[in-house]
Amino acid sequence: MPIQSHLIFDFNMGPQAFVLCKCLIDNFTIHDGHVAIRGSTLDSVLFRVGVIAALRSKKLDGLAVGVMVTASHNPEQDNGVKVVDPRGEMLEGSWEAHATNLANAPTTDDFLAVLDTLIRTTKIDISKPARVVYARDTRPSGVALVAALEDGLSAIGAEGRNAGVTTTPILHYLVKAINTKNTPESYGDDSEEGYFQKLGTAFQNLVAGRPPLEALLIDCANGVGALAASTLTEYLDGSLSLILENASISTPGALNFACGADYVKTMQRLPPSLADRLKPGQRACSLDGDADRLMYYYLDERGIFHMLDGDKIAALVAAFIVDLVKSAGLENEVKVGVVQTAYANGASTKYLAGRLPVKCVATGVKHLHHAAEHFNIGVYFEANGHGTVLFSPSTQSKLALYQPSTPAQSTALKHLINLTQLINQTVGDALSDILLVEVVLAHKSYTGIEWDSLYVDLPNRLVKVVVNNRNAFRTENAERRLLSPPGLQSKIDELVRRYDGGRSFVRPSGTEDVVRVYAEAVVRSQADELAFRVAGLVYDAAGGDPSKRPKEFL
């Protein structure tokens, strides 16, 4: 039987996500380094995901659970699935393991046995109702996967709601909106229209009276973001012009190909398709295939590419929110903090740490999201462009009840309240983040150039090392130091000391069977050299064959 598709699991995209992929590698086929699954198996996995989502809903008394069929920034032939918890956030940690076991049970009998154990151990009342809302991105393989998911939902008697072809963040929004409907915490109308209305109105309130910004060019990665961005335009009522590029959602193979946020971040260059579209100084940005990542950039007068990544977005947004909190007279009551990972550029950390508390956590949105919940207002962004801002429930009530004593305080307060509406607080959302960035630029009268000059990025380099067993690499201190293999960290430390402004860390990937090496230094050539030398140390420590050592590893 031919291999029809690649399937990537992302129940909660933390280290656990790989557990599932690993099992799939063990159970099924590996093809070009991807987890490849035959069509029939793939259908059965989606069927099982339907059952898992329904059980999660039953466990929570029928609250709606979300399922998103997407492989995000990965190539079009890949596909995957994410489960969204009722608050609109990622699936709770303990359920990742359940999902892993269920999806990987080798036979139907095994599957039923695992199911039975799960129902008993987590005390699920199977007679409870189950509601699941699901959507897919524009990948052609999504149609069959959704059908298989629907079969799983009917098998367990769950009520399904098909949200059609939409972005991952819109699906997260819908889950939260459904579950908060007719409550004091209502998140908005539980429809796509409700989402666009909420964002569009908040944006217009926030930019009212500001001179309009020049049009923004958006690279839609030839994905579902093109549909959503086009609808968003209707709700902005002329307050911001969007020029949509790479919007070919039906061209085979175009999705994420030589475009999109991941291409821009990893290649550190303009998508070739935009080369004759972008004028010097004009702002542009790229979404990824499911529109939950965002990269901004511009070309300077000499045509040189400048990237404004997740770190630059965090710096822009956090400084703006801190100023608003101060102007509202709330600086003693509302504490703003930022969450980053070790990948954050050292210059961004320095810039932010001079202004507000900064916390570093392990890679993966769930770690950032949870850490951000500990601040009154928590700003989190990964350098790769995934991020959002969380306003704690008590902060939202404080804002609602606060009595400003001057007109300036009142204006700042209104802006803060509108920001709570503009920002998709369930998950990183490229469209909502675009509007947030544009609000700050409009308020500060910044072009991309001024935004970029908040701080100068340290040159950095990311390298992959293929090893036999990446589980031999264990980290501590938010992945900034290695615990094992023994002795490797001290060798890295010794090397790093020889580089001006040097910093480097090594971590096993959670999504690929490789070890990643990050390095930065004051000078570009030094950052490259440091990265390759550390990669060489990793290669040796992993027992790589010296005759096959990649030559760039020195």
User: Residue 540's binding partner, choosing from ligand 16G, Zn ion, none, with beta-carbon cut-off 5 to 8 A by kind?
Assistant: none
By CB under 6 A, name the one of 152, 510, 536, 544 that touches ligand 16G: 510
Cβ closer to Zn ion: 5 or 74? 74
Note whether 13 binds ligand 16G by CB under 6 A: yes
Taking CB under 6 A as the criterion, the residue among 512, 522, 540, 549 binding ligand 16G is 512
What does 290 bind: Zn ion, ligand 16G, none (CB cut-off 5 to 8 Å by kind)? Answer: Zn ion
Count CB atoms within 10 A of the CB of residue 232. 22
User: What is the residue type of 523?
Assistant: V
Nearest position to ligand 16G, beta carbon: 13
Q: Is 49 helix (H, G, I), strand (E, B) or coil?
A: helix
Q: Residue 336: what residue type?
A: V
72 catalytically annotated: yes
Q: Which does 364 bind (CB under 5 to 8 A by kind): Zn ion, ligand 16G, none?
A: ligand 16G
Tokens of 350: 């320095």
Question: Any known ligand binding at 512?
Answer: no
CA dihedral 329, 332, 333, 334 (to 10 degrees): 80
Output the smallest distance, CB 290 to Zn ion, in A: 4
**Residue 202-241 contact track with Zn ion, rule CB under 5 A, x = bound:** ----------------------------------------
C-alpha to C-alpha distances, 269 to 316, 509, 519, nearest whole angstrom: 21, 23, 19
122 or 266, CB closer to Zn ion?
A: 266
Q: How far apart are CA 33 and CA 469, in angstroms?
A: 15
CB of 369 to Zn ion, least distance (A): 15
Binding residues among 60-89 for Zn ion as defined by CB under 5 A: 72
Which one of ligand 16G, Zn ion, none is in contact with 288 (Cβ closer than 5 to 8 A by kind)?
Answer: Zn ion
Starting at the edge strand found earlier in the chain, the sheet holding 515-520 runs 460-465, 515-520, 503-508
Q: Applying CB under 5 A, does 292 fall inside the site for Zn ion? A: yes
The answer to the question of residue 288 lying near Zn ion (CB under 5 A) is yes
* 511 binds ligand 16G per the rule CB under 6 A: yes
Applying CB under 6 A, the span of 283-291, 391-399, 492-500, 506-514 interacting with ligand 16G comes to 506-514
Structure tokens at 104: 């990987």
- Inter-CA distances, 2 with 41, 43, 164, 237, 295, Å: 12, 14, 28, 49, 36
- Applying the rule CB under 6 A, the residues between 369 and 408 that interact with ligand 16G are 382, 384, 386
Q: Of 43 and 290, which has the nearer Cβ to Zn ion?
A: 290
For residue 224, CA distances in Å to 198, 287, 524 come to 20, 10, 36
Catalytic residue among 5, 57, 72, 504: 72
- How are beta strands 336-341 and 358-361 bridged, if at all? parallel
136 vs 283 by CB, closer to ligand 16G: 136
DSSP 392-456: -HHHHHHHHH---SSHHHHHHHHHHHHHHHHS-TTS--HHHHHHHHHHHHHHHT--HHHHHTTS-
Nearer to ligand 16G, 387 or 485 (CB): 387
Helical ranges in 208-289 per DSSP H: 225-236, 260-267
Residues 424-453 that bind ligand 16G (CB under 6 A): none
Is 510 known as a binding-site position?
yes
516 is in an annotated binding site: yes
Query: C-alpha distances in angstroms, 200 versus 129, 399, 421, 432?
Result: 34, 21, 10, 9
Residues 6 or more apart whose Cβ sits within 8 Å of residue 554: 529, 532, 533, 536
Based on CB atoms, which residue is closest to ligand 16G, 382 or 429? 382
Nearer to ligand 16G, 380 or 451 (CB): 380
Give CA–CA dist 550/284, Å, rounded.
36
Contact 395, 381 (CB under 8 A): no
In angstroms, what is the minimal distance from the CB of 220 to Zn ion? 13
Peptide bond into 485 cis (omega under 30): yes
How many CB atoms neighbour CB 120 within 10 A? 9
Contact present, 174 and 190 (Cβ < 8 Å) = yes
Q: What phi, psi does 29 have (nearest 5°)?
A: -110, 145
Task: Name the binder of 88 from ligand 16G, Zn ion, none, CB < 5-8 A by kind.
Answer: none
- Among 139, 149, 143, which residue's Cα sits nearest to residue 66? 149
Applying CB under 6 A, which of residues 509, 522, 528, 550 lies at the interface with ligand 16G?
509
Exactly one of 66, 86, 152, 364 binds ligand 16G (CB under 6 A); which one?
A: 364
User: Which of residues 306, 415, 516, 533 is near ligand 16G by CB under 6 A?
Assistant: 516
Indicate the residue among 230 and 509 with the shorter CB distance to ligand 16G: 509
Binding residues for Mg(2+): 72, 288, 290, 292
Binding region for Zn ion (CB under 5 A): 72, 288, 290, 292
Binding region for ligand 16G (CB under 6 A): 13, 363-365, 382, 384, 386, 509-512, 516
Binding residues for substrate: 382-384, 507-511, 516
**Residues designated as active site:** 72
Binding residues: 72, 288, 290, 292, 382-384, 507-511, 516
